[in-house]
Amino acid sequence: MDAREQREMSKSVIPFNRPYSTGFELANIQQAYENGMLSGDGPFSQQCETWLKSYANVEMALVTHSCTGALEMAALLLGLKPGDEIIMPSYTFVSTANAFALRGATPVFVDIRADTLNIDENLIEAAITKKTRAICIVHYAGVACEMDVIMDIAQKYSLKVVEDAAHAIGAQYKGQPLGGIGDFGTLSFHETKNLTCGHGGALLIRDKKWTQRAEIIHQKGTDRRSFGRNEVDRYTWQDIGSSFLLGELSAAFLITQLEHMVQINEQRHALWTHYNEALKPLEVKGWIKRPTVPQGCSHNAHMYYILLNPRFNRRAVLKELLDAGIKAVFHYIPLHTAPAGQKHARQSGDLSVTNECANRVIRLPLWTNMPSVHIGFIVDNLEKILKLHTKR
Ligand SMILES: Cc1ncc(COP(=O)(O)O)c(C=O)c1O
């Protein structure tokens, strides 16, 4: 282990993320144990689903082991077959594309907007072919895509819309919760997200026509839920499906986080705003670009990212931040540049904004209850580092 790694391990580094606890999780886990139902689909899972259904104003919410699982369920529900095409950004996590590639469908990558890093809604129509079945959008950093335009295109060409709202719990577009606008919405409760249970997710379903089949796919392709409601006297294999449930211990953890969503997101907003104000002088100098939140979008302060001026060497800046005791990170490697992206997907048009932004993004530490003094320290150090770089 080198000195830098040792420093990181010795906790003298401000971590990039630290999962938050409301203080009520352990009592709930004890209760789940006493309930004697740990595998999933128990009372805590039901509480989470009731909460999510009402929050997103949808017909059904199913808690899953991950957002990846929820995306895979959406792909199964769409009944995709090899050759079908799904339009999406390349600037996203692998699961967005993988879920559809697993069904044999082809992700078709469209460029993103330079202001929000969300799919460029004006490029979607040009990517539509006879094989297009759906548009899967990603609300990057919990800032909504231009949903009115996207829903209009979907309606015009009879396409389905999947909202990958992995980042976006608590965020809204024109007053509507993200994940509840398209045909399907998927949420993540991974430890890096605003609300977490370690590893978890949810599928939100807007229309009743999908719900019966969704329950079956969720329960390994069986009608076990109907059996649980005494609608059938045994459960049997009905359809293809998989083991998508969230374990009940995780659901017991998650419900407390859902119930504290407003407070958690408020806390994060205060930190986000603090960053945004403290970083303004660096933007004025032209060293960075701060995030843009378009009108009508109320975001959830999921992450604070900056776009570094391309004159700076990002790798060197990240290393120097770490040397100063700050763990900042970058993501995503655009999927069209990755080996599986080249094998299983294709691109529509030029992806130059994706390529450029992906090389410039830096995500700064932000977690619920992060001491706000960290922000002063982080911004001061970033400024010092960039100033030194301008002189090189
Ligand atoms: C946009 C996006 N979609 C999907 C996922 C997958 O989420 P999970 O880890 O819950 O499977 C992630 C993970 O961070 C993500 O960033």
In angstroms, rounded to a whole number, what is the distance separating the alpha carbons of residues 35 and 50?
19
* Residue 257 CB–ligand 1 contact under 6 Å: no
Is 15 within the bounds of a domain? no
* Residue 66 CB–ligand 1 contact under 6 Å: yes
Buried b (16+ CB within 10 A) or exposed e, 59-74: ebbbbbbbbbbbbbbb
Three-class secondary structure of residue 206 per DSSP: coil
Is 205 within the bounds of a domain? yes
Is 6 within the bounds of a domain? no
Strand runs labelled E in 49-131: 60-64, 85-89, 106-110
Q: Are residues 332 and 255 in the same domain?
A: no
Candidates 366, 382, 378, 380; CA nearest to 288 is 382
Domain boundary among 220, 244, 259: 259
Q: The domain containing residue 142 runs over which residues?
A: 25-259
pTM beyond 0.85: the answer is yes
Q: Are residues 247 and 359 in the same domain?
A: no
Query: Rg of the chain's alpha carbons, rounded to an integer?
Result: 21
Candidates 111, 181, 174, 172; CA nearest to 152 is 181
- Specify the length of the chain in residues: 392
Q: Are residues 217 and 150 in the same domain?
A: yes
**Which residue is listed with tokens 């932000």?**
366
* Residue 139 CB–ligand 1 contact under 6 Å: no
* Residue 164 CB–ligand 1 contact under 6 Å: yes
Q: Using alpha carbons only, what angle is made at residue 285 by residues 282 and 291, rounded to the nearest 5 degrees?
A: 50
Buried b (16+ CB within 10 A) or exposed e, 81-107: eeebbbbbbbbbbebbbbbbbebebbb
**Burial (0-12, 13-18, 19+ Cβ within 10 Å), 7:** middle
Which of 66, 67, 184, 246 has most ligand 1 atoms within 8 Å of CB, for mutation?
67
Q: Residue 203 sits in a domain of what CATH number? A: 3.40.640.10
Signed CA dihedral, 11, 276, 92, 324: sign only: negative
Q: Are residues 112 and 232 in the same domain?
A: yes
Say how many Å lie between the CA of residue 68 and the centre of ligand 1: 6
Q: Using alpha carbons only, what angle is made at residue 181 by residues 175 and 183, rounded to the nearest 5 degrees?
A: 170
Is 319 within the bounds of a domain? yes
Tell me what pLDDT residue 2 has. Answer: 52
Domain boundary among 211, 234, 259: 259
Domain boundary among 210, 225, 259: 259
Three-class secondary structure of residue 172 per DSSP: strand
Is 7 within the bounds of a domain? no
Q: Are residues 143 and 251 in the same domain?
A: yes
Is 9 within the bounds of a domain? no
In angstroms, rounded to a whole number, what is the distance separating the alpha carbons of residues 324 and 4?
10
Say how many Å lie between the CA of residue 194 and the centre of ligand 1: 12
Stated as kind and residue range, the H or E segment containing 305 is strand 304-308
Candidates 250, 88, 258; CA nearest to 162 is 88
Tell me what pLDDT residue 6 has. Answer: 53
Q: Are residues 149 and 190 in the same domain?
A: yes
Q: Are residues 220 and 271 in the same domain?
A: no
Say how many Å lie between the CA of residue 187 and the centre of ligand 1: 8
Strand runs labelled E in 326-392: 346-347, 361-364
**Burial (0-12, 13-18, 19+ Cβ within 10 Å), 6:** exposed
**Which residue is listed with tokens 């094989």?**
131
Tell me what pLDDT residue 10 has. Answer: 53
Answer yes or no: are the C-beta atoms of 94 and 72 closer than 8 Å: no
Q: Are residues 273 and 207 in the same domain?
A: no
Q: Are residues 348 and 213 in the same domain?
A: no
CB neighbours of 233 closer than 8 A, spacing ≥ 6? 227
Is 129 within the bounds of a domain? yes
State the DSSP code for 195.
S
Which of 62, 63, 68 has most ligand 1 atoms within 8 Å of CB, for mutation?
68
Stated as kind and residue range, the H or E segment containing 359 is helix 352-360
Tell me what pLDDT residue 3 has. Answer: 53
pLDDT tens digit at each of 392 positions of the chain: 455 545 554 558 999 999 999 999 999 999 999 999 999 999 999 999 999 999 999 999 999 999 999 999 999 999 999 999 999 999 999 999 999 999 999 999 999 999 999 999 999 999 999 999 999 999 999 999 999 999 999 999 999 999 999 999 999 999 999 999 999 999 999 999 999 999 999 999 999 999 999 999 999 999 999 999 999 999 999 999 999 999 999 999 999 999 999 999 999 999 999 999 999 999 999 999 999 999 999 999 999 999 999 999 999 999 999 999 999 999 999 999 999 999 999 999 999 999 999 999 999 999 999 999 999 999 999 999 999 999 87
Q: Are residues 109 and 165 in the same domain?
A: yes
- Dihedral of the CA atoms 320, 323, 324, 325 (nearest 10)? 130
Q: Are residues 303 and 215 in the same domain?
A: no
State the DSSP code for 112.
B
State the closest ligand 1 atom to the C-alpha of 92, by its place in the atom list counted from 1.
1
In angstroms, rounded to a whole number, what is the distance separating the alpha carbons of residues 163 and 176?
13
Residue 231 phi/psi, 5° resolution? -85, -20
Q: Are residues 232 and 294 in the same domain?
A: no
Q: Residue 271 sits in a domain of what CATH number? A: 3.90.1150.10
Is 163 within the bounds of a domain? yes
Tell me what pLDDT residue 392 has. Answer: 78
Domains in the chain, number: 2
Tell me what pLDDT residue 228 has. Answer: 94
In angstroms, rounded to a whole number, what is the distance separating the alpha carbons of residues 119 and 150?
10
